[in-house]
Structures are given as structure tokens and as C-alpha cells.
Amino acid sequence: MKNMFFIALLLVQYACNVKLSDVHTLSSPDNSIDVTIELKEGELFYSVNKNNIQIISPSKLGLVTNAFSFNSDISLLSVKRKKSRSSWTQVWGEQEIVDDHHNEIFLQFASTDRRKTGVRFKAFDDGIGFRYEIRKGSLPDYEIMDELTEFNLSEDSPSWWIPAYAYRRYEFLYANTLISEISRDTYSELIENLSGPRIGPEAVQTPFTIERKDGIVLSIHEANLTDYSSMTLKANGTQNLESDLVPWSNGVKVYVDSDLQTPWRTIMIADKASDLPLSTLTLNLNEPNRLKNTEWIKPGKYIGLWWEMIGTNQSTWGSGPNHGAKTDKVKEYIDFGSKYGFDGVLVEGWNLGWDENWCCTGDGEEFSFYKSHPEFNSEEINAYAKLKNIRLVGHHETGSQISNYESQLEQAFQYCKSNGIRVVKTGYVNDGSQNIKRLGKDGKVYREWHHGQFMVEHFRKVLETAARYQVGLVVHEPIKDTGLRRTFPNMLSREGAKGQEFNGFMSTKDNNKPNHTTILPFTRLLSSPMDYTPGIFKLTNYRYFAPDNRTVNPNHRIPSTIAKELALYVVIYAPVQMAADLPTHYEGHPGFQFILDVPTDWSKTKVLNGEIGKFITVVRKDRSSSDWFLGSITNEKDRTVNVSLSFLDKNQNYKAIIYTDPEDGGWLKNPEKLVIKETNVTYVDELDINLAPGGGQAIHFKTIK
């Protein structure tokens, strides 16, 4: 007994004296992904392998602050590991159950000023995430001046990107170049001339997607962007990228006043492009739902008094003979929406402020978010909507007048609650990249970036206020999504990319191209649902020169077909989807039935095939029935994709209602010609999906006896 005690004592002593290894590895549950974390001469690096191929070569980790160093002279104090296998249920989403299977390692370091610094890595089968964790305790507040995280790709691969620090936020078409070719000049040459001052570094927004020559695809993004600044990726003419935090106007990147857990830096990794959109990495790296009651959050579809301003150009947001949001007209929209069972009617231009110079300097502080325009009889309209069993979708265009909006938040959302409004579309139109007006404590005006910590905090404040009043948000000109919908399921949808609106107001030369929607599922849509606003049926000759010049402007053509517009309801996920066209363009149209039938809440999603920028086929199963829906879209090239229907429920017969382009169809020829066919199928069948140039196909697999 005495001997045993002695041996145990020796073992404890040995454990205390042994130097912790400088190299630590972490593998995903299926062992396909390995992360190596290494301390080399006091500096910290990580690298990533997929299928034993190094995809991220040693890349530096670290932060530069004004208070302490977490950059060099790092020494390891302890290492902890954890294994986690669980699953959770989404309030709404692309799939009901999400598996969260990962392995975890936490490395704690000695720090120069008593702060406890650490790095946590999690490895999932669909990628990795890591974050910095810094315990501040009672030590003073500090400022992060730089984050040094690198993403050194082991190959200079083709990538899909939009520029950061550019005047139109995320509303750009994607460039497809080698990583080493990323620059504003390249973008101006290939896609569009970047106007506006060239301030800020050469950088791209995330999700940033790469397809290696061996077929492995990865996308760099972040998860749970809270109390921090958003991360862009700085390019330097090589295949190496460095995290670049969007700064405050004084150059500080992040103000820290409490214990810090940075957003997760994420790398989604898949064997092939069509596996990427199914990644649940971002959601799994967010906190569980914080809203106790979610009964009031209802996915659904809405129509709106919107396209007639932004698309057909027959109405205006502001006062005048063509003001759209007039009581009688709104009631007609309510009638139409109610007749067809829509959940909501969006009305833009309903409030006061559109007549002022609201856009885009932050100075026209006249918007009211609870006082309506005299021509919009709020009481009458809201009573009528109630009678017709439909809800208004509110609209808060802030023009990026942040202090004006924040000063009215409580009244604005109280107005919603009092009037049965459960969804609000917000907007942050602002020309110029660093142009968000902020009034400093010193009384001076500062101009902030759209994506820095100031705006991250603003967007969170609005989201939390909306939740208190039981309102869900659809944010236009948002901060990018990093999976917050898991924690706040009232974070319904966002724009945050070049959406359908550009097909409205831009001429054919400058609008979205047919391949744009075949890139989105592998880039922007990896981050969250999108309010793309699909469903335009009148694709040519739809736009007038001006509201008071009702001559059709022939220079506008939507680069799509009706079949593709329908397919987008399946390809682009959003819990609230808009039927964006005018009621008169839908009434009596046989294709409208698909919009009425397609759900926005799913129990399962599968991507049957897809190549970035070329085509994609997505199938989803309705969360409240056994019906399945398919959406397939192509770029400017026609193609046929063969799909097995093995995803359908076994022992179940289906009628496939197929909405397709005609043989002589396509975005340039007969885009508005739609063919509807029916055939009975089961899970043993296969279908050839014919896609016309710039077209698509939508199928409703309806259960039959």
C-alpha cells in the first residue's frame, strides 16, 4: 500500500514536470479532416488536411491588442479535449434535425498580463471552426488593433469572390479567378468598374469559396459574429489570405469590454461542390435558441407593393400622383393575397420620410417608423387585413440613419405588435462604403463602415428589440449572416447579395447574369437564407421609362425564364419567400400554382448535383406532408441532367407536376413560355431534367393513393 502511494506520487510529479508537446492534432469524427496546431518559437500556427491532403498549409494565429500580446512568446499551459455527438431541432429551416457531431480541443496559454488566452478548435465532418477566447476578469478594457489569422491555401485554386470595402456592400456579381488574382483592378476588368474611393485594403467578403484541382471545395466564413467586427480576407497576390477586420473610423478593429470569445473562423470542406450547400457547420457553431416562445414565428409566403416601384417603375415610394402605398391600392393587394392564401403583404412607402432626402448620407433624418403617410390609412388598412386574415409585412427603410432608427425602435416595433405585423423588412441603403453616420460621445460626426463593430451591434440591437415585440426580420443591406438564426429564430432572412431588384432597375447590360443564381448556392447561400425575391413572370417589356412616362423601356430583360423563377423557390432557401411580381401578372397564370404550393419550411434537403456557376439541382421535403419539391437551374448553357428519384418516400406513389421551359425556350428566346406536364412516379424512377439556356425546371412531387 505504501509502495502504491509512492508510485502514484511519482506519476503526479512526472505529469507536472513533463513539457507539453508543441504539436497537437484534432480529427473530425469520420477522420476525413485533420487539424494540426503547432507552437514554433513562441508563435502559433494551424494547418488542415482533408483525405490526407494538406489543403491549408501552416497559417499563423494571433491577435494584436493595445494591452497585451497574443502573437509571439506564446507558451502552452494546458490542453483539453472533448468529443460531442448530439442533434437539435430547427424552429424552421432546410431540415428539421441537425446533427452536431464534432471533436474539440482547447489550448490555454500563459499570457503577458494575467489575461487567460486560449484557442478552441472544433472539427466536424463538414469542416472546422476555431476561435480565440480571452478571459479579461477585472482587468481594464482593451482594443484589438489587428487579428493575424491566416488562411494559407496550399494551392492557388479557382475562387469565387465579391470585393470588400466597396461601395455597394455585398451587392455584387461574383468574380471567378485564381486566389492570387484577387484585386479591385481584376474585378473592374472582369465584372464591373468599381466606382467610389479606393479605401481599405484589397480584400474579399466571406463566404469565400475555392474549388481545388482535385475537386475538394472549401469555403471560408465565420460563425456567431457577436460584439466584434466582421472579417474580410485580405489578398496579397499569392494564395495566402489574411483575416482583415473591418475597422472603426479611428482604425481600432474591436473594442473589448468583457470576456471575449471571438466569432468562429470557419472553413467548410467538402469532397465535391454539390456537398457544400448541405453544410451545417455555421449553425452548429452558434448558440442554441434563446427565444422561449417561438409559436409566433411562422414561415410563409408574401406578396408586396414593391415591384411596381423597383421593377415596373409605375409607382413611387414618396408622395405624388404615382405614390404606390395608397389605401385603396393596398386593399387590392390584401384582397389578392388573401384570395390565394398568402401569409403577408409587404407595403413599401407607407410611412413618413420618403419625401425627404433620405438617401444616402445619413442626414435626412425624417423617416418615421410608426407614423404613416396621409394616403396610407393605417387604421383602415390594418383592420381590413385582419378581416381578410392576412398580415401586413412592415417596412423600415432606414437609409442608414442609425440614430434616427434607434431612437424610434420601441415605438416602431410596438406599432407592429399593435397592428398584428409579425414580419418587418428593414433596409440600409447607403451610397459609399464608409458612410454610416455615427454621432460620437464628443458630439462629432464619424463615418463608419457598413460591416464594422458599430453596425454589428446595431443589427443585434434591432434583432433583440424585434424579438421582444414578437417580430421577425428580413434585412436588406444587412451585415452578413453568420448563423444567428439558430439563437434568434426571428432572424428570418436577408438580402446581402445582388438580388432580383437589380433585374428591376438595371438595364440588361448591367443586371444579374444567368449564371448568378448558379453561383449563389455555393457562396452567399452558405451563410443563410436569402430574400432574393423570385417569381417574376413578366420577364421582358415590363419596365416603364418613368412613373409618369408609361412607355415601355426595351432595355430591360430579366435573365431568366418562368420555369427558372419557379425553380428558385426550391434552390434558394428562405423561411419567408416573396412572390415578387404584380398580382396582375399572376392572376390566371397556370405557373402561379407552383408558387402557391411550394412550402418554405422543410424536413429534409438534398442537393442531387451541381457545379459552381453552371447548374444545381435541389430537392426538399415538405415539413408538414410527404410531398417533395425539386428545383434545377442552369447558367446560360442548356443541358440535361439525369436524376434518380430514390430520395422519394418508399411505398408512396407520387404525381410529378413538372414546370419546364419548352424545347425552343430559354432566357433569350420564349422566356415566358412555360410547359406544364404530369406523370406518375415512385422512388425507383429516374427523370431527365431538360434545362434551356438560362432556364430551369421546377417539380412538385405530390403524394397520390
Active-site residues: which are they? 501
- One-letter amino acid of 208: F
- Please report whether residue 310 would count as binding ligand NOJ according to CB under 6 A: yes
DSSP sequence for 437-457: EEE-TTS-EEEE-TTSHHHHH
- DSSP states of 501-556: HHHHHS-TTTS--TTHHHHGGGTGGGTS-B---------BS--EEETTEEEE-TT-
Count interface residues toward Ca ion (CB under 5 A). Answer: 2
Confirm or reject binding of residue 397 to ligand NOJ (CB under 6 A): yes
Strand bridging mode 158-161 / 391-397? unpaired
| Residue among 207, 172, 174 nearest 613 (CA) | 174
- Using Cβ positions, the residue closest to ligand NOJ within the complex turns out to be 397
Residue 148 near ligand NOJ by CB under 6 A: no
Enumerate the β-bridge partners of residue 134: 117, 260
Gap between the Cα atoms of 419 and 424, Å rounded: 12
Residue 308 near ligand NOJ by CB under 6 A:
no
Among 260, 259, 278, CA closest to 268? 278
Q: Does 476 bind ligand NOJ (CB under 6 A)?
A: yes
Cα–chain-centroid distance for residue 609?
21
Answer whether 514's CB lies under 8 Å from 569's CB. no
Closest CB 700 distance from ligand NOJ, rounded Å: 28
The percent of the chain in helix, strand and coil, each rounded to the nearest 5, is 20, 35, 45
| CB 344, min distance to ligand NOJ, A | 15
Q: Is 150 in the site for ligand NOJ (CB under 6 A)?
A: no
The strand ranges marked E within 495-599 are 544-546, 549-552, 576-578
| 473 three-state secondary structure | strand
Site for Ca ion in 521-540 (CB under 5 A): none
Q: Which helix (H) or strand (E) holds 567?
A: helix 562-571
- We find the least distance from the C-beta atom of residue 138 to ligand NOJ, in angstroms, to be 45
Closest CA to 153 of 218, 204, 202: 218
d(CA 49, CA 99): 22
Least separation in angstroms between residue 350's CB and ligand NOJ is 11
Site map 63..102 versus ligand NOJ, x via CB under 6 A: ----------------------------------------
Rounded Cα distance between 5 and 17, Å, is 19
Name the DSSP letter for residue 612.
Answer: T
Site map 345..364 versus ligand NOJ, x via CB under 6 A: ---x----------------
Residue nearest to Ca ion (CB): 476
Restricting to residues 466-485, name those near Ca ion by CB under 5 A.
476
State the binding string over 483-522 for Ca ion (x if CB under 5 A, else -).
------------x---------------------------
Which residue, 505 or 683, is less far from Ca ion as judged by CB? 505
Output 495 or 672, the one with its CB closest to Ca ion. 495
In whole angstroms, give the CA distance from residue 100 to residue 114.
34
Among 76, 145, 429, 552, binds ligand NOJ (CB under 6 A): 429
Interface with ligand NOJ (CB under 6 A), residue total 9
Which cell is 704 given? 397520390
| Residue 422 Cβ vs ligand NOJ, minimum distance, rounded to whole Å | 19
CB of 401 to ligand NOJ, least distance (A): 13
Residue 397 near which of ligand NOJ, Ca ion, none (CB within 5-8 Å, type-dependent): ligand NOJ
By CB under 6 A, residue 501 contacts ligand NOJ: yes
What is the C-alpha separation between 388 and 420, in angstroms, rounded? 13
Distance, C-alpha 122 to centroid of its chain: 22
Interaction mask 534-563, ligand NOJ, x per CB under 6 A: ------------------------------
Among 125, 308, 495, 672, binds ligand NOJ (CB under 6 A): 495
Query: How many CA atoms lie less than 13 Å away from 700 in the CB half-sphere?
Result: 21
Footprint (CB under 5 A) of Ca ion, residues 109-128: none
Q: How far is the CB of 426 from Ca ion (least distance, A)?
A: 11
By CB under 5 A, name the binding residues for Ca ion: 476, 495
Binding positions for ligand NOJ, rule: CB under 6 A: 306, 310, 348, 397, 427, 429, 476, 495, 501
